[in-house]
Amino acid sequence: MQVTAMHFKRKAAENLSNEKLQRALEKLQTKFVNGRAAAIAELPNFDQIRNAAADVRERVINNLDRYLLRFEQEATARGAVVHWAETADDVNRIVADIAVLHGVQRIVKSKSMVSEECGLNDYLESQGLNVLETDLGEYILQLAHEPPSHIVAPVVHKTKEDIADLFVDKHHRPRTTQIAELCREAREVLRPGFLAADMGISGGNFIIAETGSVLIITNEGNGRLSTTLPRVHVAVTGIEKVVPTLEDVTTLLRLLPRSATGQSITNYVSVLTGVKGRDDADGAEHFHIILLDNGRSRLLGTELQPMLRCIRCGACMNHCPVYQNIGGHAYGWVYPGPMGSVLTPSFVGLENALDLPNASTFCGQCAVVCPVKIPLPDLMRHLRNRQVERHLRPWQERAALRVWSWMAQHPALYALSTRVAARLLRLFAGGKKRLSHLPGASGWTEERDMPAPAGRTFRDLYRVGRRA
């Protein structure tokens, strides 16, 4: 997937004025935010479960090599083939080689953000393979030639009218805006693909070290059909998704669907272990598992290591006031919202995503709702520090920070300057309570008014209060 994060400001401005998108994004509040609150309320011991989940993820990340080698050992013992991919290009090459090895022509895919990260579909199609997305949201995006705007609900930016028009154009059937009928139409188109496919490709919500299993959770039957009907199954997932035991997975599964979609449990939880046995009714005859690094190992031992705990629930973006207003496409890569503001600069380079760590109000809501307690504001703050250290911020901004730092180290001068500034801004407001334009800070006042100072600093008011 092409990285366009460097155009964040322009895309954000466009999306703020897109009325259709704004109406579509209202679904986040009703479906995901309120739904999560209700689902979490079902767990009287939520905080304990959350602490346990964070401990599981942290224990894995601190011993990542050991658990990955154990996973490879167990998966191989059960007939799977484990591949190690350092980059996205490696994933694409490995999948294409597997297709050649097994004489594959037709592929069905379950939703996978890692495959989006690699641009896998485009690569396979360039190799002459037929690839069909079977998750309803991803199928809609494949028809529209668009990237996902949300990691859980990839078409949250589209209305049912948009989808109806798209289906008329691609399916050549009578137009309907009834959701049930649109779903039926998609099923009728997709079913032949499952039966004809030679290979199924999936992601992996978790991989389990003690059994060598890949676990996927879905709300549609497409995930299970994609992994059991074709004779070849390829699972592509990040190296950080490993979990020690099945018992540890059950802890995480109590939080993941609640945090993602506000459900107590998803419709399908599939634990895929090894190849089809002689007495098995279904399952893949050939099982390949690709473990992708693509920058993940660079985070180990750094201030950004907690980001590897992420279980891709999307709660941070659902509750983020920035994402709620601009949607996912403005972030310019696979992972939007607060998680993307850390992952994208980490994976594609800070210089290619300068605005993302700054795309936050620092309200802290993302950290509050994260089921594995990732301190997202702290991580974004660290990336901001890196930008300054590497001189990636505009020189005016760096100069202003240096001036502020010097003055903060001289309390008397700082007090005098703030006293003067408070009085000047009060005069500039002209008796009004708000400033609609602030010289030198147009980025703050183009879209909002700033409260006008009272004309006295906190120090002045505190001094008066003490005398009283």
Last residue of a domain, one of 247, 282, 297: 297
154/280 same-domain check: yes
Question: Is the same domain home to 281 and 165?
Answer: yes
Distance (Å, whole) CA 396 – CA 199: 54
CA atoms of 315 and 259, how far apart (whole Å):
6
CB 268 within 8 A of CB 226: no
What residue spans of 133-178 are helical by DSSP H? 136-144, 160-171
384 falls within a domain: no
Any domain includes 81? yes
* Alpha-carbon gap, residue 157 to 152, rounded angstroms: 12
280 and 424 co-located in one domain: no
Q: Measured in whole angstroms, how far is the alpha carbon of residue 197 from the centre of its chain?
A: 29
Q: Quick check: 262 and 34 in contact, CB under 8 A?
A: yes
Residue 351 lies in a domain: no
Contact 334, 49 (CB under 8 A): no
Helix (H, G, I), strand (E, B) or coil at 283: coil
Orientation angle between helical segments 46-62 and 246-253, nearest 10 degrees: 130
Q: 239 and 106 in one domain?
A: yes
Q: Could you tell me the end-to-end alpha-carbon distance of the chain, in angstroms, rounded to an integer? A: 64
Number of domains the chain is built from: 2
**φ, ψ at 363 (rounded to 5°):** -70, -20
Burial class, 431, CB count within 10 angstroms (exposed 0-12 / middle 13-18 / buried 19+)? exposed
Cα 18 to the center of its chain, rounded Å: 22
Q: Are residues 410 and 292 in the same domain?
A: no
- Residue 438 lies inside a defined structural domain of this protein: yes
Say which CATH number the domain at 71 has.
Answer: 3.40.50.10420
User: Range of 77's domain?
Assistant: 45-297
**How far apart are the C-alpha atoms of 391 and 389, rounded to whole Å?**
6
Decide if 324 is inside a domain.
no
Q: What are phi and psi of 253, to 5 degrees?
A: -70, -20
The answer as to whether 423 is a domain residue is yes
Are 198 and 107 in contact, with CB atoms under 8 Å apart? yes
β-pairing, 213-218 with 206-208?
antiparallel
Is there a domain that residue 366 lies in? no
Give the burial class of 208: count Cβ atoms within 10 A of its Cβ; 0-12 exposed, 13-18 middle, 19 or more buried: buried
Bridge partners of residue 424, in order along the sequence: none
| 288 within a domain of the structure (yes/no) | yes
- Which of 273, 297, 321 marks a domain boundary? 297
pLDDT in tens, the chain (468 residues): 789 999 999 999 999 999 989 988 888 878 899 999 999 999 999 999 999 999 999 999 999 999 999 999 999 999 999 999 999 999 999 999 999 999 999 999 999 999 999 999 999 999 999 999 999 999 999 999 999 999 999 999 999 999 999 999 999 999 999 999 999 999 999 999 999 999 999 999 999 999 999 999 999 989 999 999 999 999 999 999 999 999 999 999 999 999 999 999 998 999 999 999 888 888 899 999 999 999 999 999 999 999 999 999 999 999 999 999 999 999 999 999 999 999 999 999 999 999 999 999 999 999 999 999 999 999 999 999 999 899 898 888 888 888 888 999 998 899 888 888 888 888 877 777 888 777 777 777 777 787 888 778 888 888 877 665
Token pair of 273 as six digits: 């272990």
Same domain, 287 and 153: yes
pLDDT at 278: 86
Per-residue confidence (pLDDT) for residue 103, from 0 to 100: 97
Select from 297, 325, 344 the last residue of a domain: 297
Whether 285 and 416 map to the same domain: the answer is: no
